Amino acid sequence: MSLRKNTIFHAIHILSAALMPLLVVPYVNRVLGLENMGLYNFAFSAVSIFLVFATVGLCAYSGREIAKNRENKEELKKIYSSTIIMSIIAMIVVMLPFILMTFFFEPYQKVRGLLILFSAMIVLHAFHTEWLFVGLEKFKYIAIRSVILRTLAVAAFFIFVRSENDLYIYAIISIIAISGVHVLNFIKSVSLVGFSLKGASPFKMGYSAKFFFFAAVIASIYTFVDRQILGSYSTNELALFTLAMTISTLACIPSLVLARTIAPRLNYLYSTNQTAYKSLLQKTFNLTVYGLIFSFVSVFVLSRPLILFMGGEEFLGAVYLLRMTSSLLIFTTLSVFINLCVAVPSGKEKNTFFSGIVVAVIVLTLNIALVRRYGAFISSLAITVGEFLGLITMIFFALKQKILPNLLRLEHLKYALVGIVTGASLHFIIPRINLGVLPNIVILGLISGIIFFALNMLIAFIIKKDDEMIRQIKGFKKGKN
């Protein structure tokens, strides 16, 4: 399938993932309330840590190997079989400490019922095979499947979650929506490449994925452990922090659609055609920067209406948290881009591990020392500072290893200046529009997009005219001589 079609189908898949929380979160936040959502987020972040250990870094590593060996059917079957076996072994090992935590650790007794339900996610994750379809660039299948299942899940949320007593129903539907798809993918994947114990080497596969695993573990520390620390002091503060992070994460998605779609192709080109690799890398970076600047400006300026829409007045305490974490749209997006499009294709995935250590140290230190006193504010500050320093670390190693070409161009400065003008314009317009929360967001979002796109087009036109004039002057002087 062509790269353009892959991008379209992967965009459908990713945007459907973003659309579901945009539809569901505002509804459940109002129905279940701040306290219930705090309990849910506390339990979910706990199980997410165990999911990282159950994955042992195989998704990223195996996806890369699949992309590299897509023409070798026997090697595909070997990679696939080894990954599945290792995933099952990891799931069994991880379940024991999870059970001990659920029944014997005091902080988790208040969410024991939720944790028992969430244990199904650990079991089903052993059969997670989306990495295979991504590596083979089977984005059409992923997109169609995602849209159907997520549509059904959204309908179920609105039908069955009707009061604050429906927390467990919300959890069950979430589990089916997130993990039920693994069963369908597994059945499809077996028919696609086959499964065989013969020739499988699960432990070798697990060892080869060690840096992906270490990086994922470190990432889980600053992605989920900070929420455990905050939630142990106040689940209400955790609910505010989680909402701010949810909006920031959703806003990152459009900027990373292209990078995530093209990553398998870059993995393939890196070892076969360096010229094509660098050309595609530059184009991807240009569009990524364009998207992240627009997303950052929009989220920062529209923080209050976004919080009102996603959570209601009970969650207004998250507005200042969202303004702080909106900078993650820049730091996190660039870190993920360098990881997926530069470090992984070049076999330098350990860079992500070292970057993650920097982030984890900052996040853990600040949370342990200050979260009891400053709550969600320090959690937001910690992840923002940590991600910034993590990005600097990743860039440092990539430049030192000479795997990161100079991707910066004059047009990126143009994007930044246009972003500042767009933000200032929105700040002036916001007080003059009062049509309700959702209409305000839609209208202001459209205005933001129009201003940002129009100014970029105008500057591009002016630069083009200047270049033409310079060429004409040079031609005139040359002719005169």
Question: How many angstroms separate the CA atoms of 436 and 443, rounded?
Answer: 11
Buried/exposed code over 253-290 (b: 16+ C-beta within 10 A; e: otherwise): bbbbbbbbbbbbbbbbbbeeeeeebeebbeebbbebbb
Structural contact between residues 93 and 212, judged by C-beta atoms closer than 8 angstroms: no
245 to 149, 237, 254, 405, 481: CA distances (angstroms): 24, 12, 16, 31, 63
Domain residue extents for the chain? 1-208
**What is the percent of the chain where pLDDT is above 70?**
95
Structural contact between residues 387 and 363, judged by C-beta atoms closer than 8 angstroms: no
pLDDT of amino acid 366: 93
pLDDT tens, per residue, the chain with 481 residues: 566 777 778 778 777 877 888 889 899 999 999 899 999 999 998 998 888 888 767 777 888 888 878 778 888 888 888 888 888 998 999 999 999 999 988 889 999 999 999 999 999 988 888 888 888 878 888 888 888 888 999 999 999 999 999 999 999 999 998 888 888 888 888 888 888 888 788 888 878 877 777 777 777 777 788 888 898 889 899 999 999 999 998 888 777 777 877 887 888 788 788 888 888 888 889 888 888 898 899 999 999 999 999 988 999 999 999 999 999 999 999 998 998 888 888 888 788 888 988 998 999 999 999 999 999 999 999 999 999 999 999 999 999 988 888 888 877 888 888 888 998 888 888 888 887 888 888 888 888 888 888 888 877 766 665 455 455 555 545 555 5
46 contact partners, CB below 8 Å, separation of at least 6: 101, 108, 111, 115, 118, 224, 228
Question: How many angstroms separate the CA atoms of 326 and 238, rounded?
Answer: 17
pLDDT of amino acid 477: 52
pLDDT of amino acid 113: 94
Question: Helices H, strands E: what count in the chain?
Answer: 19, 0
pLDDT of amino acid 167: 95
Q: What is the pLDDT of residues 414-448, one digit of tens each?
A: 888 888 899 888 888 888 888 788 888 888 888 88
125: exposed, middle or buried (Cβ count in 10 Å: 0-12, 13-18, 19+)? buried
The two tokens of residue 357 are 């250590």
The two tokens of residue 414 are 């143009």
pLDDT of amino acid 464: 63
